[in-house]
């Protein structure tokens, strides 16, 4: 069965509204003969005469009356789809966005972000979900709108990214720990009992601290492995274990604890926003991305902020 010509919907809508071939032709800027041919095609397509002679005019058939309201709605919806997008009205926006990120990001940046969203778009809800891995599937299938993390080899090549801030790793222990007193040397640091943070097993840490210790002939004692930095900070807070965590990412989590610079060089990490390109031009999504970035920059200090 051949596909119907959808252009006929507009013609049918005008014919049913005008009830006259001549008036419909003028409205659509067609000749009367062209409109008559279009009406004939509509009759063949629908299997109904649609407009029939009644005296000197035309009247709609029962089938045409049934179609009139439905066709009008369809034409309005098609026109709305093809019309340029209207300016975003944040006060009237009602939408839920899903942000996949770490507990540390939620604790540090979540409160300010929610205050910002509540002030600008009170109908917007933000759903935070945990990030157990770096799989790009949730961004591709649309179950996640936005994600934060470090761009790596497993990041989908089609994803859009925008840098939020740079971070460095530091050590953190409970108050009263031996590392609170005096200078923390590489030997003092390595002599402690450590927590390894890894989502993918004992050999897949976010940064390779043990490689940085090797030139000094040092090695850490790894007592336990956890899947996130918030868990590492919680364990260090209530034990004599040492956690090595990103400074900015865990600032709220470390409140009331002792933090210190790591006594050996490590590369900084760049935390970025990630999203699928189908949302790149979505006005509401663009607004949300700008909110996340500005909140992160507002909490930045010195050279940690990334200017892009």
Give the CATH number of the domain where residue 54 resides.
Answer: 1.10.10.10
pTM: 0.66
Q: Please tell me what DSSP assigns to residue 12.
A: H
Q: Are residues 103 and 55 in the same domain?
A: no
Give bridge partners of residue 244 from the DSSP assignment.
Answer: 171
DSSP state, 184?
-
Does some domain include residue 258? yes
Output the DSSP codes for 243-284.
EEEETGGGTTTTTTSEEEE-SS----EEEEEEE-GGGTT-HH
> How far apart, in whole angstroms, are the C-alpha atoms of residue 247 and residue 234?
15
Q: Cα–chain-centroid distance for residue 7?
A: 36
Query: Do 159 and 274 lie in a common domain?
Result: yes
Domain count for the chain, please give it. 3
Q: Is residue 31 part of a domain?
A: yes
Both 12 and 69 in one domain: the answer is: yes
Q: Average pLDDT of each block of 10 consecutive residues along the chain (308 residues)?
A: 74 86 89 90 88 84 85 78 75 95 87 95 94 80 90 81 92 95 93 88 66 91 91 95 92 93 91 91 93 88 36
In the beta sheet, which residues pair with residue 3?
none
Both 238 and 127 in one domain: the answer is no
pLDDT at 298: 85
In whole angstroms, give the CA distance from residue 28 to residue 11: 8
Whether 121 maps to a domain, the answer reads yes
* Same domain for 98 and 228: no
* pLDDT reported for residue 199: 73
Closest CA to 164 of 183, 175, 148: 148
Model pLDDT, residue 205: 56
Same domain, 197 and 246: yes
Classify residue 255: in a domain, yes or no: yes
Structural domain harbouring 291: 90-167+270-301
The CATH number of the domain holding residue 242 is 3.40.190.10
Does 263 share its domain with 175? yes
144 and 25 belong to one structural domain? no
DSSP secondary structure of 76-129: HHHHHHHSPPPPP-GGG--EEEEEEE-HHHHHHHHHHHHHHHHHH-TTEEEEEE
- Distance, in Å, from the CA atom of 268 to the CA atom of 276, rounded to the nearest integer, reads 26
Same domain, 154 and 178: no
Q: Which of 52, 82, 112 is the last residue of a domain?
A: 82
Residues 156 and 181 in one domain: no
User: Final residue of a domain: which of 53, 82, 111?
Assistant: 82
pLDDT of residue 301: 47
For residue 306, tell me if it sits in a domain: no
Claim to verify: residue 154 and residue 274 sit in the same structural domain: yes
- The reported pLDDT for the residue numbered 89 is 92
Q: Tell whether 188 is covered by a domain.
A: yes
Report yes or no: 214 and 196 within 8 Å, Cβ to Cβ: no
71 part of a folded domain: yes
- 163 and 276 part of one domain: yes
């Amino acid at each position: 069965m051949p596909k119907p010509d959808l252009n006929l919907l507009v013609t049918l809508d005008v014919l049913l509204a005008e009830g006259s071939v001549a008036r419909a032709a003028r409205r659509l800027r067609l000749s009367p003969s062209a409109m008559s041919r279009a009406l004939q095609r509509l009759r063949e397509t629908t299997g109904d005469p649609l407009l029939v002679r009644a005296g000197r005019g035309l009247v709609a058939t029962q089938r045409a009356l049934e179609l009139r309201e439905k066709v009008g709605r369809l034409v309005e919806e098609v026109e709305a789809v093809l019309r340029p997008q209207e300016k975003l009205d944040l006060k009237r926006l009602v939408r839920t966005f899903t942000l996949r990120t770490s507990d540390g990001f939620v604790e540090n940046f979540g409160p300010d972000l929610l205050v910002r969203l509540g002030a600008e778009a009170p109908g917007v809800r933000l759903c935070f979900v945990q990030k157990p891995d770096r799989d790009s599937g949730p961004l591709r299938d649309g179950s996640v709108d936005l994600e934060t993390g470090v761009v790596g080899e497993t990041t989908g090549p089609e994803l859009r990214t925008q840098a939020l801030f740079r971070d460095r790793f530091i050590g953190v222990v409970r108050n009263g720990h031996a590392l609170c007193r005096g200078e923390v040397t590489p030997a003092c640091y390595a002599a402690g009992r450590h927590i390894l943070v890894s989502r993918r097993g004992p050999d897949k840490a976010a940064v390779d601290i043990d490689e940085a210790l090797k030139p000094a002939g040092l090695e850490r004692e790894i007592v336990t492995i956890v899947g996130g930095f918030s868990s590492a900070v919680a364990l260090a807070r209530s034990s004599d274990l040492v956690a090595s965590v990103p400074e900015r990412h865990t600032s709220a989590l470390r409140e009331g604890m002792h933090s210190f610079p790591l006594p050996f060089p490590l590369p900084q990490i760049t935390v970025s926003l990630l999203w699928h390109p189908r949302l790149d031009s979505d006005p509401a999504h663009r607004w949300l991305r700008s909110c996340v970035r500005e909140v992160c920059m507002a909490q930045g200090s010195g050279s940690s902020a990334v200017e892009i």
